[in-house]
Amino acid sequence: MKLLAMTYNIASGNNLARVRNLKFAASVINQVQPDFVTVNEVRCNTSDVSLHQADELGRLTGYYPVFGKSIDISGGEYGNAFLTRCPLLEREVIHIPDRTSDERAYFEHRTVLRCVVEAKGRKITVLGTHFGLARVEQESAVETVLALLEKETNPVILMGDLNMTPDHPVIQPLFKALHDTANCKDEIKTFPSDEPNGKIDYIMHSGEFETADVYSMDTQCSDHRPLMAELSMN
């Protein structure tokens, strides 16, 4: 079985020039044609975005949309989304415990969007997430994901903007629990999209999969570049 997975932080539909049009992100997804994609920074009926962005992405791409709220913001909601061509069997939003510190970094409550799909007769768990900026938030997020992995019985794919480069000490336990499609290297840089200087977007998977290819795309339809991985499973 072969699958094409994609993760993309769409900056709430803004391109690098801060022009907001959800067709930018949809055009990238339509060009790639993945089996499923995790989407970060998605708004739902906020005062500045008077639509449900996950549902609209589904309409523009033909994928089935799932929205996972992380926070209330601007009169609406904000979080992660999952778009899939594979049948959706389960969906769940898992909250990452908040931690506070004196570290001067923007704080935001974070979540993991857990979806189970059926791909060619096999159940697969996809964990989509967007980690925080402060180290204590990142530590809590890693611990949350590791705890989820211990309970999983399906093959797992973890995708999202983890806000850490591969050399960051906090992310190292994830590299031990899962295989990073980019081999824990910073060679496929994803941020910022015009002149990327670091890899902070990831696709990782459990041992049932093998990575056939991993690549990005030169596009400024967001401040991030998308990351894609071709995966195979016997």
Residue ranges of domains in the chain, CATH in brackets: 2-233 (3.60.10.10)
pLDDT band at 120 (very low <50, low <70, confident <90, very high): confident
Residue 23 confidence (pLDDT) above 90:
yes
The string of pLDDT tens digits covering residues 149-164 is 999 999 999 999 999 9
Residue 105 confidence (pLDDT) above 80:
no
The string of pLDDT tens digits covering residues 42-73 is 999 999 888 999 999 999 999 999 999 999 99
Give me the DSSP letters along the chain.
-EEEEEEEE-GGGB-TT--B-HHHHHHHHHHH--SEEEEEEEEEEETTEEEEHHHHHHHHH-PEEEEEEEEEETTEEEEEEEEESSPEEEEEEEEPPP---S--S-----EEEEEEEEETTEEEEEEEEE--SSHHHHHHHHHHHHHHHHH--S-EEEEEE-S--TT-GGGHHHHHHSEETTTT-S-S--BSSSS--B--EEEEE-TTEEEEEEEE----SSSS--EEEEEEE-
Name the percent of the chain lying above pLDDT 90: 91
Beta-carbon-side half-sphere exposure of residue 87 (alpha carbons within 13 Å): 7
In whole angstroms, give the CA distance from residue 184 to residue 153: 24
Average pLDDT over residues 229-234: 92
Residue 234 confidence (pLDDT) above 80:
no
Residue 106 confidence (pLDDT) above 80:
no
Residue 103 confidence (pLDDT) above 80:
no
The pLDDT score that the predictor gives to residue 177 is 98
The pLDDT score that the predictor gives to residue 91 is 98
- Please report, for residues 4, 29, 49, 57, 210, the alpha-carbon distance to residue 35 in angstroms, rounded to integers and kept in the order given: 5, 10, 27, 15, 16
Name the percent of the chain lying above pLDDT 70: 98
Pairing of strands 2-9, 36-46: parallel
The pLDDT score that the predictor gives to residue 104 is 64
Mean pLDDT of the chain: 95
pLDDT band at 187 (very low <50, low <70, confident <90, very high): confident
